Amino acid sequence: MSSKTHVTTTINGEDTEFLCEPHQSLLEVLRDTVGLMGTKEGCNNGNCGSCNVILDGVLVNSCLVLAVEIQGRSVTTIEGIATANGLHPLQQKFIEHAALQCGYCTPGFIVASKTLLDQNPNPSEHEVREWLAGNLCRCTGYDRIVRAVMDAAQG
Amino acid sequence: MQSFDYIAPKNVDEVISLLASQNGNAKVLCGGTDLIVQLREGRRTTGLVVDVKNIPYLTQVTYDENGLRIGAAASCHQICSDPFVQKYYQGLIDGIHLIGGVQIQNRASVGGNLCNASPAADSIPALIVHNAICHITGQGSSRTLPVEEFCIAPGQNALKAGELLTHIQIPAPQKNFGASYLRFIPRNEMDIAVVGAGASAILDEDRKRFVAVRIGLGAVAPTPLLATESGAFLSGKDLTRANIKEAARIAQSIAKPITDLRGTAEHRKHLCAVLVERALDIAIERAGGQHVQ
């Protein structure tokens, strides 16, 4: 039986430490240990993108990262997207375009879209759709989501 | 998920001695896009996970006069964003770029795709047509294996207990060479190949004749295949539609697909010939040849 590991890391800009077992995913620890519930569990096997977080600037599925792997690294979750000045433009545009219905997939879409706009501030519709291929929504279809991202990029 | 211990060694020697000491009860972790899912679902078991992503020898993509060296733990994104790979190894880019979405590309490794040994793995026919060689290290020994011999059954590779795939070596760019990989899936993204086919061709000086051809097939047999007979048939032949079609027909005759939820054996047989023909057309074009009418 494995023992608990002490992990020190940065989450949403704050120094954070936690204890976890080696088999626990980052998703599990974010939600159950750190208490950040914004990151959602969908498929838990890397298909749906609900659990997307940004690890050292790179988009990953937190269900496919072991929590012990983030020792000394930096994680941004949906809770770290808005600033003290208010919602991130992506969040604002998702509201304006009603780019959600049940909302379960939304954190994953916003985190994924942010990594796109960070590296490509003016993407084509095709680029948006390709970038978001790893995120599944079972309510709205994707048109409103794509429109919200395009609008946020232009704004 | 089942319990296991975790260690992230700093060098290859440490990995090799850990693998040896565990007597087969250790699993190597790169991106985890297959391994973590399989451990969670109980399809594989292990007492120790050895994370090799902190070892530059295993994560680097480099090139010299001997060609391209891909560390087994290099991510798909890292490989696909390399300008040298983009320019000279287009068949490889075709295959690797198709593995999952952005999130998976950022984590999944080509070494992992290979070790996972799925019959439908997109990178493997692409590696086959690029003449890739697997470099394997064990305790006090090392060996190489052509990539087409690396997978031995669905989910099983040729590594012996205690061995590690360290890198994949691909020959330096050759003149009048082109390669491509295509797969058929019923949607645009994020799916597993119903059939995959890769082709590479070296053309003669006038680019009117095949000098050497390799055809790689995925999802039509228990392991990805090198269609040796198709390549042998085209070698030395003129670039004609009849010759290309005959090579595709030969590849189709080698394919031994099964019927499953992704497609019937009959459908896969049909797709095999169609994709080989199209992959060859793209390879010819990339080698500087005229489109064959």
pLDDT digits (tens, 9 = 90+) for B167-224: 999 999 999 999 999 999 988 777 899 999 999 999 999 999 999 999 999 999 999 9
Using CB atoms, pick whichever of B5, B51, B102 lies closest to residue A2. B5
Pick from A25, A46, A130: which is nearest to B33 by CB? A46
Residues 6+ apart with CB under 8 A from B206: none
- What whole-number percentage of chain B has pLDDT above 90? 96
Comparing CA positions, the residue from B77, B2, B277, B229 lying closest to residue A56 is B77
What share of chain B has pLDDT > 70, as a percent? 100
CB within 8 A of B259, min separation 6: which ones? B265, B266
What is the average pLDDT across B65-86?
Answer: 97
Return residue ranges of chain A for CATH 3.10.20.30.
5-78
**pLDDT of res. B190:** 75
User: Which residues of A lie inside 8 Å of B (Cβ-Cβ)?
Assistant: 1-2, 5, 21-25, 44-47, 49, 52, 58-61, 63-66, 68-69, 112, 115, 130-135
**Where in chain B are the domains?**
5-170, 177-286
- Answer yes or no: do B104 and A44 touch at CB < 8 A: no
* Domain at B177-286, CATH class: alpha beta
Report the Cα–Cα distance between both ends of chain B, in Å, rounded.
56
Give the N- to C-terminal CA distance of chain A in Å, as an integer. 52
Tell me, what amino acid is at B228? T
Q: What pLDDT band is residue A2 in, cutting at 50, 70 and 90?
A: low
Indicate the fold that domain B5-170 takes in CATH.
3.30.465
CA distance linking residue A125 with residue B7, whole number of Å: 42
Q: How many CB atoms lie within 10 A of CB B21?
A: 12
For CA atoms A91, A94, A97, A98, give the dihedral sign.
Answer: negative
DSSP string computed for A91-123: HHHHHHTT--SS-TTHHHHHHHHHHHHHH-SS-
Could you tell me which CATH class the domain A5-78 is placed in? alpha beta
Q: What is the pTM of this model?
A: 0.96
CA angle at residue A70 from A69 to A76, to 5 degrees? 140
More confident residue, B1 or A151: A151
- Exposed, middle or buried, B280 (CB in 10 Å: 0-12/13-18/19+)? buried
- Whole-angstrom Cα distance, residue B150 to residue B146? 7
Q: What is the mean pLDDT of residues A119-129?
A: 97
CATH code of A89-154, in short, is 1.10.150.120
Residue intervals in chain A for CATH 1.10.150.120 = 89-154
